[in-house]
Structure 1
Amino acid sequence: MHHRRHISLYTPIQFYNSTIIVNVPPINGTGIMMKTMRDRCNCNDCFHKNGEYPSLYRVLTRGLRALTSRCIGLTVAAITVASSVNALPNSVDFDLAEPRITTPDDSLVMPLERPDPSLMLPIAPQAMVLPEPRPTREELYPPTTITLEEGVERITGIAPQSDSAPLQLRSGEGMAQMLRRGGLTPEEAQEAISRISSHLSMRSLPVGFEVTVMPASDSHGAALRLMLEDDLDLTLVETTDGSWLREVSLRPVERYLTYVSGSISSSLYRAGIKAGMTDDVFNTFVQVLGFSVDFQREVRKGDEFEVLFESSKDIISGKTVTGSRLHYISMTLSGDKIEFFHHDHQDGGSGWYDEGGNSAARTLMRTPVNGARLSSGYGQRKHPVLGYSKMHRGIDFAASIGTPIMAAGSGVIEYAGRNGSYGNYVRIRHNSTYKTAYAHLSKVKTGISPGTRVSQGEIIGYVGNTGRSTGPHLHYEILVNNRQVNPLTVRLPAGKSMPEEERLYFDRTVNSISDELTARGILRFAGE
């Protein structure tokens, strides 16, 4: 219903500190109703019990105080002028509500919605500056020269007049003694050590640590070179005015592909090392195939293996640099060949896949320890300590004390510590379905505690003989929905398959590896 009320001329009503002048003469029979929209206001003045919004009459009777203090959240939505007589002779003016719109017959006056402030700002195109890629080590450091003499000439611009000599740290000898043995004065040795210590800890230098030293000459002071890392060198040169120049350089390496293959006679490890694998190559080989091959039960005498890997050779020392990169691995088990290719994704990731693009990775590894033998299977057995028949809800891997134990899959450490007859014990939650447990550890690796996130293959502890045990071994369990199952027979879901957008690039990887093997006289067939 319309509330009718005589309103005196020029009646001010204030909303949001803005005054609305209602310019209406006191005409009998003319009613004015204000409809409002609720906006973050919960006071009783803003609600009718029947859910309607308040009329102007009700607002005015509640007082201007309710509008300015308690009803800040009210926004004027419309002012409706209703009359039982002819249209009002005067209009309703709004100071801050321009522009306004009216109906075709001028019977309704409404303010437009306040524009978005962001639309009133000038639009200026902004250029997007992408971050620059991280520089490579080759871009950061100059290459190490073959000799220290060449390095001194490059740094100072003057050819040295004395010769350098390599020195090795002796047992019971300190760095200062070795440098003085190379011809440096005590003052020169002390100055050099103060600059070396900012790059290298002097407390744990091994016996045999090598430093190339050059005594001072008329053209320059003393000079020396030493290795900071496997591929970084530090060169220090004293100038004639007593200052020292420094250069960090990248050791030059020669990269080449190596193909090794062999047949197993007694031990896979012995056969691999004999064929030319390094320890890190063998560990990667076992880790990748560990998802598909049970090395304790499936490997037989006469089974064959192949590995194609990239090695790096230090040109200065002639030594092979550790950290070889594998490209292709395969094993032939009882005539069945399993092979995987390493592929670098376009987004920076990488993975191992078979020729069909299926990932080599599984949810869990069946064998989380290398170089061990299966000493006890899953199922009913006579307990070696208790002496009676008891269900064995895991499998045991016999290995020497201290052998590293790897996380069978990525996940979160749920338990790490002493656990009754299990001895030192670690349990990992991989997802809502799978968990793995590791018992009888000699010790848990430092940093492994409940809540710690670990990656597949990461070392979490070491084989031991703690708890109810008769000898050093790893007791390994896989739990599915908190129930122990046989780790050797449980069906494990495969990892992610090759993304479709990577398929073309992966096919190129497979073809390039096949071409390399063919060039070496190795024939492989698609789908072999």
Structure 2
Amino acid sequence: MQHRYDPEPSYDPRSWSRPRPVAAPPVPPIAKAAPAAARRNPISLLAGVAVTLGGAILAYAARPANDPAVAPTPAPAAPVGVSYDQRVLNIASATAIAPTLRSLGIAPADADRTADLAQQALGDTSGLLRLDVTLAGATLHAATVTHADGGGVAIERGGNGALVAKALTARLTRRLRFVRGELDGNSFYSSAVAAGVSDVLVGPFANAFRYDFDIQREISAGDVFEAGFEERVNADGDVVGTPRLVYASLATAAKTRALYQYRLPGDAEAEWFDSSGRSSRRSLMRTPVDAARISSGFGMRGHPILGFRKMHRGTDFAAPTGTPVFAAGDATVTFATMKGPNGNFVRLRHDNGWETLYLHLNRIAPAIVPGSRVGQGTQIGEVGTTGRSTGPHLHYEVHIEGQAVDPMSIETGGGRAIPTAAMAAFRKVRDAIDAKRAKAM
């Protein structure tokens, strides 16, 4: 039987060609009549018959004892004019299986049975699926439905002609990739994406350095960054799921930092550590809002509304309305409501006695009430322009012993060190990353 597979998938069933029937084998030519001389020689003819009969008798006598005398029934010949066609389609969810199969001309009973078997194996799943269909004419011969990771279900006809399903296990491998780039004159985001960093990793990369760098103010064109991230790859070499950032480095004219992600035993989440095993985390975040630019710093300035020079007791971060605002450190909420020109206003008292203030919020998170505890990085509200404000921004203050200080200049304290008992495991992770990075770079 001849098999034909189309090299490229089609997404429009109307454009697909009908299966081309296999050509029947050529009929052998009719033998010509024997020469006249042969017809006039009956003695030769009888001799040939005798030899043939003698050979048959000897073959019969020499056959094995258990060989049946009746010749076996020959296998049925493949139906003439039938070939296999394979179609590959992307479908939005498992609910699209039956309609898609019907659109190929497959019998509704087979289409529905295939969909039922697939949904039983896949469960109540949504998201893009790959549907591979093998047709024998207009009859369903086999089908597979798979996720991007290769997991799914294979459906084919059993010996009795019924459709049966077999689960397919996901086949993923992990690989570590490294990219290096220089900052352009536009933004860290555009620089990172141009270098090959997935856009979903730009935020985690910036957050890794939120205690060491003000990404908006302390980096400039020509500064060098590196990112190492783990990807899961399927059998076709396609990346499946979201990559995970495991290494980040940033080198500016003033300083260089390289960090490794590691989760200590007993910790719920991984943390960033330098090569010596000291955490990058500090008692306070440098910037408690993502993707913001400093629009006004700490110190004397001409007030944009009142018109006279006035002490600006904090730092303003301009960002779109609704941008999340985070607690700069572990703290207790002492104030959370509207307050005149401050607009929606939150005050936090931290465990070391310092206070941080967040003004002009668009809204305050419902759980942020006086007396509640927040962890560093917990969202407490959103950027807004409530109160005395000329546009959406966060006004952020840090108070030490009741006095406002420049949030961008204070020393926020050193991070914790990895315990001695866990250092060997950390070094193993660090050294593996460094070895692969050395080969990649």
TM-score by length of 2: 0.65
* 1:491 corresponds to 2:415: no
Count, aligned residues:
350
Whole-angstrom CA distance in 2 between matches of 1:187 and 1:482: 77
* 1:323 corresponds to 2:242: yes
1:505 deviates by 3.1
Shift in CA distance, 430/187, structure 1 to aligned 2, threshold 3 Å: farther
Per the alignment, residue 179 of structure 2 pairs with 260
Of 187, 197, 200, the residue aligned with 2:124 is: 200
Per the alignment, residue 282 of structure 1 pairs with 202
Shift in CA distance, 250/376, structure 1 to aligned 2, threshold 3 Å: farther
Q: Is residue 413–residue 448 contact of structure 1 (8 Å, CA) maintained in 2?
A: no
| SS in structure 1 of the partner of residue 219 of structure 2 | coil
Shift in CA distance, 485/257, structure 1 to aligned 2, threshold 3 Å: same
Q: Is residue 152–residue 169 contact of structure 2 (8 Å, CA) maintained in 1?
A: no
The one-letter code sitting in structure 1 at the alignment partner of 2:153 is: T
Whole-angstrom CA distance in 1 between matches of 2:109 and 2:123: 20
Structure 2 gaps, min length 5: 1-83
Q: Is residue 273–residue 279 contact of structure 2 (8 Å, CA) maintained in 1?
A: yes
Query: Can you list the C-alpha shifts for 1:154-206, whole angstroms capped at 9, x where unaligned?
Result: xxxxxxx8745314349xx977644543556666666747984994377xx7x
Shift in CA distance, 477/232, structure 1 to aligned 2, threshold 3 Å: farther
Query: Can you list the C-alpha shifts for 1:241-280, whole angstroms capped at 9, x where unaligned?
Result: 9999777755322322212112223122221111111123
Per the alignment, residue 274 of structure 2 pairs with 354
Q: Which has the higher contact order (CA 8 A, sep 6+)?
A: 2
Q: Is residue 330–residue 338 contact of structure 1 (8 Å, CA) maintained in 2?
A: yes
| SS in structure 2 of the partner of residue 440 of structure 1 | strand
Structure 1 gaps, min length 5: 1-160, 522-528
1:466 deviates by 3.1
1:303 deviates by 1.7
Of 103, 122, 145, the residue aligned with 1:181 is: 103
Whole-angstrom CA distance in 2 between matches of 1:366 and 1:401: 20
Per the alignment, residue 380 of structure 1 pairs with 300
Q: What is the correspondence of 1:154-303 to structure 2 with a 5 Å cutoff? A: 163=86, 165-169=88-92, 177-178=99-100, 180-181=102-103, 192=115, 196=119, 199-200=123-124, 209-212=128-131, 214=133, 225=145, 227=147, 231=149, 233-235=151-153, 237=155, 251-266=170-185, 267-303=187-223
Query: Can you list the C-alpha shifts for 1:376-408, whole angstroms capped at 9, x where unaligned?
Result: 112332222233333333211112334343443
Per the alignment, residue 225 of structure 2 pairs with 305
Q: Is residue 441–residue 461 contact of structure 1 (8 Å, CA) maintained in 2?
A: yes
Per the alignment, residue 353 of structure 2 pairs with 433
Whole-angstrom CA distance in 1 between matches of 2:183 and 2:92: 42
Q: Is residue 438–residue 476 contact of structure 1 (8 Å, CA) maintained in 2?
A: yes
Shift in CA distance, 201/256, structure 1 to aligned 2, threshold 3 Å: closer
1:486 deviates by 2.1
1:374 deviates by 0.6
Q: Is residue 378–residue 395 contact of structure 1 (8 Å, CA) maintained in 2?
A: yes
* 1:398 corresponds to 2:322: no
410-419 or 351-360, which moves further after superposition? 410-419
Per the alignment, residue 464 of structure 1 pairs with 384
1:417 deviates by 5.3
Shift in CA distance, 385/319, structure 1 to aligned 2, threshold 3 Å: farther
Whole-angstrom CA distance in 2 between matches of 1:342 and 1:366: 20
Per the alignment, residue 333 of structure 1 pairs with 252
1:489 deviates by 1.6
Shift in CA distance, 429/182, structure 1 to aligned 2, threshold 3 Å: farther
1:488 deviates by 0.7
Q: Is residue 416–residue 448 contact of structure 1 (8 Å, CA) maintained in 2?
A: no
The one-letter code sitting in structure 1 at the alignment partner of 2:318 is: A
1:499 deviates by 0.9
Shift in CA distance, 247/473, structure 1 to aligned 2, threshold 3 Å: farther
| SS in structure 2 of the partner of residue 387 of structure 1 | coil
Q: Is residue 154–residue 167 contact of structure 2 (8 Å, CA) maintained in 1?
A: no
Shift in CA distance, 263/501, structure 1 to aligned 2, threshold 3 Å: same
| SS in structure 2 of the partner of residue 298 of structure 1 | coil
1:291 deviates by 0.4
Bigger radius of gyration: 1
1:286 deviates by 1.0
1:238 deviates by 8.6
